[in-house]
Amino acid sequence: MAVLRKFQVTFDCAEPVRLARFWCEVLGYESNPPAGAASWEEYEAGQPAAERGGWAACADPTGVGPRLYFQRVPEGKVVKNRVHLDVRVGTGLVGEERLAALEAECARLLPLGAVRVRLLYDGGDDSCIAMQDIEGNEFCID
């Protein structure tokens, strides 16, 4: 019998609240404030000034996807991610239909601050668009 475990994906970042808002928009996730707080604003108001904005989280409202956790770190990003998220918008699509879905999602994310890096197009069902989030973390639309 397989063991099923819940997990979260953690991002080291400079601005946790801002990055959490970005990923909520990308994935359709919702803010996930600490237990007992109705909102991040309410939680932050009760924290010492030096600790405000130190972390944030968001979660899939359906409970299916992993929770995303964002923690402030002092160092900046200096190399390519060794792990990245793939935003799956073209599943089951091939060729031009797949490419159109990828391009439409890319166009939606650009105004949010995402950066298009390059199209990796094979003409079939393995095409993707490499992108970066608002802090330069790589992700793919596939």
What tens digit of pLDDT does each residue of 58-112 get? Answer: 999 999 999 999 999 999 888 888 889 999 999 999 989 999 999 999 999 999 9
Radius of gyration of the chain (CA): 17
Residue 71 structure tokens: 């923690």
Q: Is residue 12 part of a domain?
A: yes
pLDDT band of residue 39 (cuts 50, 70, 90) is confident
User: In terms of DSSP bridges, do strands 128-132 and 115-120 run parallel, antiparallel, or are they unpaired?
Assistant: antiparallel
- Residues 65 and 97 both lie in one domain: no
Residue 43 structure tokens: 């939680």
The reported pTM is 0.88
Residue 123 structure tokens: 């003409």
Return mean pLDDT, the chain: 91
Nearest CA-CA partner of 115 in 41, 54, 26: 26
Domain of residue 110, residue span: 85-141
- Do you know the residue count of the chain? 142
- Residues 65 and 105 both lie in one domain: no
What is the pLDDT, as a whole number, of residue 128?
94
Task: Tell me the C-alpha distance between 24 and 83, whole Å.
Answer: 19
